[in-house]
Structure 1
C-alpha cells in the first residue's frame, strides 16, 4: 500500500490548502458543484508565477442544444479574463496571489493583491436558479485610501437550442466607484446565468443564495451522520453525501439524478442512478433523491414489453430519448438489483407494490438470457466495451444473483411466497453456474475469469464478494491487492494497464468488508479516503482516468457511502421493516456510530461498541432501544415491532 501525499489539511468543518505552508506551489485542480438547474466545474490553483488560476465550466442541464443527445446540455467556459474587471486605483487587478483555499461545500479562495487589498472569493451554485455564483469581498489592509471599481467585461452570448434562443450573461451588483479607507471592505456578487430568450429575468441576492447553499450542506451533514475514530473517513463520507445528493436536476421529465462530469446531465443510467445511487437515498432520507430514483425507475418501465427486448442503457435529454450504443450491458440485472434494494430500504409497501412488476420483468428477462452454461449473457457491461467482456461477464451474472436474493426478500414482504421460493432456488442455481463457469486460476490466483477466454486479472473479480459469494475470497482478495491490480489510485481495470475506475475500487472495498476481512479493508479504505480527500485531486471519489480526467461523477460518491453503510456497518435489507446488520468494527476502535438513518419506515441510530470478548449493537429510535451482543461477524437481525 503506497504512502499518500497530502496537499490539503483537515479542518473543523472543512478542508484547506495552505499555500504559505506548501513547498510545491505550482498546482491546479478541479471540482464539481451542482444545484437543481445548474452545475459548475471549477478549475482553480496557482500558476508558476504564484498567481491565481480560476475558471468555470458552467452547465445548464435543461437548456438543450442541437442535436439533443446525451451531451446536449448547454455549457460555456468562463476564464478569469471573461469575468468582471476589478480596478484598484484605476489599474486592472492582475496580480492576485492566493494564500489559502478552503472547501466546505463551497469553494473559498483567500488572496492578496497589490496596494494591500485582501480578496476573499466564495464560489458556489445556486440551489434552485440557473446561476453560478461568486461572492467577492475586498478588504483594504493598508493604511492608505484605495479606490475600487468593478467593471462589466462582456455582452450577452446567444446560443440557438432545441426550444429557441438562449441567453448567457455575467452580471455583478457592485455599482460605481468606491473608496475604501483602512480596514474597510467592499462586498459584491457575481452571477453567471442563462435563460430562454422570452423567459423573464430572475432577481436574486447572492448572500441569500449563499445561505441557501450552506443550509443544504448543513442538512445533509445531520442526516446519515458517521462517527468513527478516523476523522478522514467521517469527512470523506460527509462530502460524498453532498456530491451524491446535489446532482439532482429539475427537468421536464421530473427530478433526475444525473452523473454530471461536464457531459451527463438530465439523463439517467441503469448503473449510475439505479444500481449505484438509488439504494442509498432511503438511508439518507433525502426526499429529492428518493423522488428522482422513483422517476428513473418509472421511466424505464415504458421499455419493458411483452417481447422482452433489452431496456435501454440510458434515458436521455430530460426523458425524451434513449441511448443504446453499447447494446445490452446487463441493464435488466442492474435494474432488478437496484430497484429491489431501493424498495426494501424505503420501508414503503406502496412503492414496493408499484416496483414489483418491473423487478419481475427484469428477472424474467435475465432468465431468458441464460446461456447453455447457466450464466447470464449480455453484450457488454458498465464499461460499454472499453475493455473486453465476452458474451457473458461476471458482473452481469453476479448482479442477477444478488437481485434474485433481494427480490425474494421483497416478495416475502409483499406476501408473494411462491416468488420468494422461486427466486431463492434461481439464486442457488446461478451461484453454482457462476462458480463453474467463471471460477478459474488467473495469473496464479484461484479466483475468477471475467469472461470465457479471459486470462488477465480484472478489477471486477471483486463483485462476487460484494454480492455475498465468498468461496474464493482468500485468493480473490490476494489478487485484488497484488501489484498486478492495486495501484496508488486503487484498482486498475485490468492488470498491466494504467486505467482505473473508482467504482470497481469501491465495490472491492465493500466486498472485503462483506467477506469479513475487516482489518485489510479498513487499512485500504483509510488510505484511499485520505488520498481522495486530502491529496492532489480532492475531495470526492472519481470516475476514471485517463478518460474524463478523474471527473467527480455523483454516483461514485454514492458508492463510497455504501462502503460505509453496507460494508463497515454491514446493513442488508431483509424486509420492508427489517434488516440484518453485521458490524465490522475494526480492532482498536472502541466505538462507531451511524446516526439519523432514515430507512425501513423510521429514523434510527446504529451504535457499535467493543466489549472485551464481543461487540454490542444498539439500535435506537424514538420508539425505544434494542440491544444485541455477539462475537465479531455475528449477523444481528433487526425488525421493528410494528410495521
Structure 2
C-alpha cells in the first residue's frame, strides 16, 4: 500500500509540474499596478475572449479580441427588468450589437480598420488600437452602476503631422420588441452616439465621444445620460470594493484575483420590483435567485465584504424563500424567478432546504445583527423541520437530486445534501444560542453529531483505490463533491479525499472533473475543494494547485474571473463562483467560522513560503477589523486589530482553532 501511494504521489507531482508549465506558457495577460491586468497583443497573434459586466439595471457580455489582426468587439446586452413572454427564468430581454454593423469611422473618406495593440481590464474593458491611418482609437466599455445602459467611450487621437477629416456614421439599427411578447409593453433598444460631430483633428489633438447602449420601455421618457458621471460612479464602485476586505499576501496574482472576484461577486445584483436580487448572469440567469448560487454560495460572503447592496440582496433572497414555507412541508422551490413573480422547481428537491438553512444561519451569524437573525430564524427552523421528514433509517437525508440537477447521477440519498445539512446544523446551533434558544441549540448540536457519524458510516468507502466517500449508494467512481465533508468540518477520511481529488482521476489542467472518466468540470466544485484542502491543513499540498488555478483564471486564455463550467455554457462568468473564490481565502486559508454575532473561530494555514497574510477592513460581525497572520522564526502569530485600535494577539498552534470575541 505504501509503495502504491508513493507512486501515486509521483504521478500527482508530475501532473502538477505539467499543469504549472501549462499555466506559465498560456499566460496571455500581465499584472499592472492597482488591480489591473493587461494583454499586449503580439505580432500575428489572434485570440478572442468574453467578459461579463453588470449594474443594477443591465448586464453585458462583451466579446473582444483580435481576429486576423483586426479588432473584434461584439456585445450582448441584457435588460433583466424588461421581461419577455413567457416570463420564465430566461425571459430577460437580450439584444446583440455586432461591431461589423456598428459605428463606422472614416478618415479623409476612407473607412478605418482598427488593429488592437493592448487590452486592459480593471472593472472596465479598455482597448488601445492603431489604424490604417494616423488615427489611434481608444475604447473603454463599462456598465452604468444604476441605469439600463452600457457605455462605450471612444477617444480618437491624431498621431500624425497633418490634419485628419473625421466622419462618424452610426450604422446601428434600433430594436423594437414585439409588444405581444413583452410583459410591460413595447421595448426599444438603441445605440445613441453622443457628441458625434467631430471637428477636423489637428496633429496631436484628440476627441472624445460616447456610444450609449440603452434599453427602455417605449413609454419611458428620453433620459439625458452623462457618460463622464457614469464612468466616475463605476470607478467609485470598483474602488469601494477594493478598499474593503483587502487581501495582502506575498503572491500578487492571488491578491489581484481576489480583488477581481469581489467585483464579479458584487456587481451582478439587479434592482427588480421584488427588491434587490443577486443573479448568476451568463446571459441566462437574471432578476432571480437560487438556493445554491445565492443562499449557499454568495450570501455567506457578503457580510465579510460589507457591501450594502450585497447584504440587502442576501436578506431579500431569504425573504423570498420564506414566502414559500407551508404547513404541509412541501419543498421550497429551488429558484424564484421573474423578479419574484414565478419560480422553478424542475429538479424537485435538490437539497435546497439544507442549502437555505446553511446559508441563512451562516449569513445571520456573520452579519451580526440580531433583528435580522430573528427575522430569518423561522425560515431556518422550517427547513430543519422539512429535513427531518426526509430522514432515513440510516440517519441520513434523502433528496430528489443535487445542485447538478441530473447532469450526473445522485441517487436518492447524496453526499452533498447531507454534508450541507451538517454544516447547517452546526451554524444553526450557534445562532440558536445567540438568540437564547438553548434547547434548540443543544438539539441541533446533537443532530449535527449524529449526522456526522451517519455520513461517515453511510458514505465512507474505498473508491478507485482511495479511502474517501461514495457519492450515493451504488456509486463506484470518484466524484468532485467528495470535497464537501471537509468544507463543513468533517475531517474523517480527509487524507484519502485530498489524494483522490488531486489524483489523475479527477484533477486536470482546468481543475477538478465532475466525475472520474468525464471531461466536464465545474469551477464551484474546484473552489469548494480548495477551501476544504486549506481547512484540513493540506496547505502545502494544495497551494501550488491554487496558485496555478488563480493564474490561469486571472491571466490565461479566459479571464479574469472563475467560470461556471465546460462544456456547458462555454465557461460563463457566473457571479457566485467569484464569491466562492473569495471564500477560499476567508474560510479556507484563514479558516474563519462565524460562531456568534461578535464571535468567530479562526485556524489559519499560513503557507511555509509566505511570511504573512492579511485581511484588512473585514466588515463581518457588524464591526470593522483587520486580521494578520505572521511567522517569526518557527512560531506563527495571529493579530486581530479592532475598530477602536485594540489588539488581540495569540500564538497559533497547529490545527487548533482560536476563538475571537470582538468588542
TM-score under structure 1 normalisation? 0.98
Q: 2-side partners of 1:581 and 1:138: how far apart?
A: 53
- Please name the residue that 1:116 is paired with: 134
- Please name the residue that 1:629 is paired with: 651
Q: 1-side partners of 2:430 and 2:208: how far apart?
A: 57
Which of 599, 602, 611 aligns to 1:578? It is 599
Which of 149, 161, 166 aligns to 1:148? It is 166
Secondary structure of the equivalent of 2:418?
A: helix
Secondary structure of the equivalent of 1:627?
A: strand
Which of 421, 427, 439 aligns to 1:400? It is 421
Q: Which deviates more from structure 2 when the two are superposed, residues 608-617 or residues 360-369?
A: 608-617
Which of 481, 488, 499 aligns to 2:509? It is 488
Q: Deviations over 1:96-152 (max 9, x none)?
A: 100001101100000001221111000110111110110000100011110112122
Q: Does 1:139 align with 2:157?
A: yes
Q: Deviations over 1:223-260 (max 9, x none)?
A: 00000000000000000000001001100000110000
- Please name the residue that 1:30 is paired with: 50
- Please name the residue that 1:172 is paired with: 193
Q: Does 1:373 align with 2:373?
A: no
Which of 385, 409, 428 aligns to 2:449? It is 428
1:633 Cα deviation from its structure 2 partner: 2.5
- Please name the residue that 1:16 is paired with: 38
- Please name the residue that 1:419 is paired with: 440
Q: Deviations over 1:372-395 (max 9, x none)?
A: 211110011111001010001000
Q: 2-side partners of 1:120 and 1:136: how far apart?
A: 6
Secondary structure of the equivalent of 1:180?
A: coil
1:370 Cα deviation from its structure 2 partner: 1.0
Q: Does 1:51 align with 2:70?
A: yes
Q: 2-side partners of 1:162 and 1:243: how far apart?
A: 29
- Please name the residue that 2:522 is paired with: 501
Aligned 8 A contact 1:608 1:616 in 2: yes
User: Root-mean-square deviation (CA), in Å?
Assistant: 0.9
- Please name the residue that 2:236 is paired with: 215
- Please name the residue that 2:62 is paired with: 42
Q: Does 1:560 align with 2:581?
A: yes
Q: 2-side partners of 1:431 and 1:630: how far apart?
A: 27
Q: Deviations over 1:335-382 (max 9, x none)?
A: 000000000001101111111111011011111111221111001111
Q: 1-side partners of 2:388 and 2:403: how far apart?
A: 20
Q: 2-side partners of 1:155 and 1:487: how far apart?
A: 45
- Please name the residue that 2:11 is paired with: none
Aligned 8 A contact 1:158 1:168 in 2: yes
Q: Does 1:639 align with 2:657?
A: no
1:24 Cα deviation from its structure 2 partner: 6.3
Aligned 8 A contact 1:613 1:631 in 2: no
Secondary structure of the equivalent of 2:443?
A: helix
Secondary structure of the equivalent of 2:39?
A: strand
1:202 Cα deviation from its structure 2 partner: 1.3
- Please name the residue that 1:271 is paired with: 292
Q: 1-side partners of 2:245 and 2:51: how far apart?
A: 23
Aligned 8 A contact 1:25 1:46 in 2: yes
Q: Deviations over 1:478-534 (max 9, x none)?
A: 000001000001000011111000000000000001111111122211110000000
The within-5 A match list for 1:57-136 is 57-93=76-112, 95-136=113-154
Q: 1-side partners of 2:430 and 2:532: how far apart?
A: 21
Q: Which deviates more from structure 2 when the two are superposed, residues 169-178 or residues 102-111?
A: 169-178
Aligned 8 A contact 1:56 1:79 in 2: yes
1:23 Cα deviation from its structure 2 partner: 6.0
- Please name the residue that 1:356 is paired with: 377
Secondary structure of the equivalent of 2:624?
A: strand
1:632 Cα deviation from its structure 2 partner: 3.2
1:92 Cα deviation from its structure 2 partner: 2.1
TM-score under structure 2 normalisation? 0.95
Q: Which deviates more from structure 2 when the two are superposed, residues 230-239 or residues 631-640?
A: 631-640
Gaps of 5+ in 1: none
Aligned 8 A contact 1:141 1:183 in 2: yes
Aligned 8 A contact 2:198 2:207 in 1: no
Aligned 8 A contact 1:108 1:123 in 2: yes
Q: Which deviates more from structure 2 when the two are superposed, residues 236-245 or residues 80-89?
A: 80-89
Q: Deviations over 1:445-491 (max 9, x none)?
A: 11101001000110000001111111101111100000100000100
Q: 2-side partners of 1:338 and 1:535: how far apart?
A: 32
1:177 Cα deviation from its structure 2 partner: 4.3
Distance 1:220 1:263, change over 3 A: same
1:154 Cα deviation from its structure 2 partner: 3.0
Secondary structure of the equivalent of 1:422?
A: helix
Aligned 8 A contact 2:57 2:79 in 1: yes
Q: 2-side partners of 1:45 and 1:262: how far apart?
A: 20
1:175 Cα deviation from its structure 2 partner: 3.3
1:270 Cα deviation from its structure 2 partner: 0.4
Distance 1:50 1:433, change over 3 A: same
Gaps of 5+ in 2: 1-15
Q: Does 1:308 align with 2:308?
A: no
1:155 Cα deviation from its structure 2 partner: 3.7
Extract structure 1 runs of 4+ deviating beyond 6 A: none
Aligned 8 A contact 1:110 1:119 in 2: yes
Aligned 8 A contact 1:583 1:632 in 2: no
